[in-house]
Structures are given as C-alpha cells and as structure tokens.
Amino acid sequence: MGLVRSLCLFIAFLSCLIISVHGQATARPTPVSGTRIGFYLTTCPRAETIVRNAVNAGFSSDPRIAPGILRMHFHDCFVQGCDGSILISGANTERTAGPNLNLRGFEVIDNAKTQLEAACPGVVSCADILALAARDTVILTQGTGWQVPTGRRDGRVSLASNANNLPGPRDSVAVQQQKFSALGLNTRDLVVLVGGHTIGTAGCGVFRNRLFNTTGQTADPTIDPTFLAQLQTQCPQNGDASVRVDLDTGSGTTWDTSYYNNLSRGRGVLQSDQVLWTDPATRPIVQQLMAPRSTFNVEFARSMVRMSNIGVVTGANGEIRRVCSAVN
C-alpha cells in the first residue's frame, strides 16, 4: 500500500512539472509580473493558433526559418529585453547590426501580425508573436513545446549599437557566463540555451579562423582531425565566406541531443560551442545533457521561459505595434 501511495505522489509531483501542449510534454513556466498563460484568451482567443499556422506555412516553404526565428528571439531578448525591437526595420536599427544580418523569418512574423490585426486589431504584440513563434519552430523540428506566458508590449527603440554585446562565436566560457549573468541567466541556462544549435547553420566566415590559423597554430587543436578535414573541404581558406555549415553535423535539421555528443567528440563548429566541452565549468552540464535519459527538452523549455522574461515591457508601457517592422 505504501508503494502505491508513493507512486501516486510521484506521479502527482510530475504532473506539476509537466504539461501538454500540442500533444507534447513541456515544463510549466513561471511568468513575470504583467504576463500570464492565456493572456489573450478573451481578447484574441485564436492568437496562438494564428501564429502557429503562420509559422507552419513559413516552415513548409522554407525550413530554415526554424533556426532563424529561434535565433531572432534570442537576439531580441539579449538586447534591451524581449520587446520585439529586433523586428523594427530602418537605418541603424538592431536588424542592421553585424550579428543580425543573416537572421531569417521576419516575413513569417509579419504574416502572423497581418492576420492578427485582421482578427483582433491592436491587441497582440509583436514581442509576443516572436516568443510564440520561437516555441512553435522547436515543435516543428521535433522538439518539445511549452506554454509561453504572454502579455508583453512592444518597445519603441531599436539601435544597432545596442547589439554589440551579443554572445559571439569566439567567446570563451567566462565571457559567455558574464553576458548571460548580466541578464539574470546562470551557467546551466547558458549550456541549455546554446543547445538550440542542434538546428541551424553558420557561415564559413564565422569560424574559418579555427580551421587554418589559431594562436599561431595551423588549426584549433580541439577539433577532431577527421572533422577538421571535412570543415576545411566545406570552407577552404580563400573560399566563399557565406557558405553555410550545420552547427550540429549529421543532425542539423532535427531537434535532439546530438549537438552535445558532437561537442564531446571535438565536432563543435563554433569555438564558443566547443569550449563548453573543454572548460571544466561547463563540461559536466554537457555530459548530463548528452546522457541517454537527458532532461534537455524540459530544461530548454524552462530556460527559454526564463530568457523570454528578460526586460519585458508590460501594462501601460510600450505599445502594441500595428506592423512589427515600425513603431506606431
């Protein structure tokens, strides 16, 4: 009897941690003040469905929008908070900053906004559309969904100069930790969120320095020799810097934990990724996330909600943009 009771309590405990969205298990999020699950339930009940359908349509036309939108949300949140400022177009806006020049998926967000304005004018923010779309891209690539707290409002300022402190492809673990910590995210959040590189690509110009000349050596010695030869073929020293390479070699379009396994084999494409394995501060976390019964999906959901809470604009602050690419 005691065993049965213990099992029941354990199951009840799990139910507090795990819920279902679109038939997938997800971590229960913790909203910040002014946001909540189902914020648009009465004011725009089809909001999440409209966003999901727009993302599905965009993904069907071009699967590359999945990592593009996920990265866009990350870059939005890391620059003055998750306020949709990355979506504003024009000279000297965040979109024109170097790290953002290759972002994809703006047209998907614009499409969702157009449909939402037709259904519920002036209700759903662009910041929320981006947060919802990021979740939906993970689901489309066979990842786990989560409930997204909504109620963000849109920021009115977007400056390219504010994007200078985004995490970079050559950052050490210490530098990455500093950038994440400045926004209230810890080292585990760092390793988990960078796991989003299980989908997506990087241009040769971003990491080619590792392949031919690093600290006076011919190549970065942490790269597996076989993988090094493969990368040198894909990205020759004087070749096209815009050629794209999967960040998770062998599984670049599927949401899984092979990204972490690749790091353990010296197959990280970016220097900032590979150091997660070589640095003792982060290696144990990588080992946990690459394990057969990894909690990566649940942890990613939790860390994404934590990230999406950064600097949100709520209440009477900010605005609800009529179009996502311009302030009202």
Name 58's Cβ contacts closer than 8 Å, sequence gap at least 6: 65, 105, 107, 108, 111
Name 260's Cβ contacts closer than 8 Å, sequence gap at least 6: 195, 286, 289, 290, 294, 296
Q: What whole-number percentage of the chain has pLDDT above 90?
A: 85
The torsion angles phi and psi of 86, rounded to 5 degrees, stand at -65, -20
Flag the least confident range among 16-20, 93-97, 162-166: 16-20
Tens digit of each residue's pLDDT (9 = 90 or more) over 70-82:
999 999 999 999 9
Quick one: tokens of 324?
């996502």
In the chain the domains, ranked by start, together with CATH numbers, are 25-166+304-308 (1.10.520.10), 173-302 (1.10.420.10)
Quick one: tokens of 298?
């649940």
Residue 20 is classified by DSSP as: E
Mean pLDDT of 127-135: 99
Mean pLDDT of 213-236: 90
Mean pLDDT over all residues of the chain? 91
Tens digit of each residue's pLDDT (9 = 90 or more) over 37-54:
999 999 999 999 999 999
* 94 has binding-site annotation: yes
Catalytic residue at 22? no
Task: Give me the helices (H) in the chain, please.
Answer: 2-17, 47-61, 65-78, 106-119, 126-140, 173-181, 187-194, 204-207, 209-212, 225-234, 258-264, 271-278, 283-289, 296-308
Q: Partners of 202 in the beta sheet? A: 245
Task: Give me the helices (H) in 199-269, please.
Answer: 204-207, 209-212, 225-234, 258-264
* 198 has binding-site annotation: yes
Residue 153 is classified by DSSP as: B
Element (H, E) at 148: none
| pLDDT for residue 254 is more than 80 | yes
Quick one: tokens of 110?
């614009």
Q: What whole-number percentage of the chain has pLDDT above 70?
A: 89
| pLDDT for residue 294 is more than 90 | no
| pLDDT for residue 26 is more than 50 | no
Residue 244 is classified by DSSP as: E
| pLDDT for residue 198 is more than 60 | yes
Q: Could you say which of 52, 71, 73, 75 is catalytic?
A: 75
Element (H, E) at 158: none
* 22 has binding-site annotation: no
* 197 has binding-site annotation: yes
Mean pLDDT of 48-72: 98
* 81 has binding-site annotation: yes
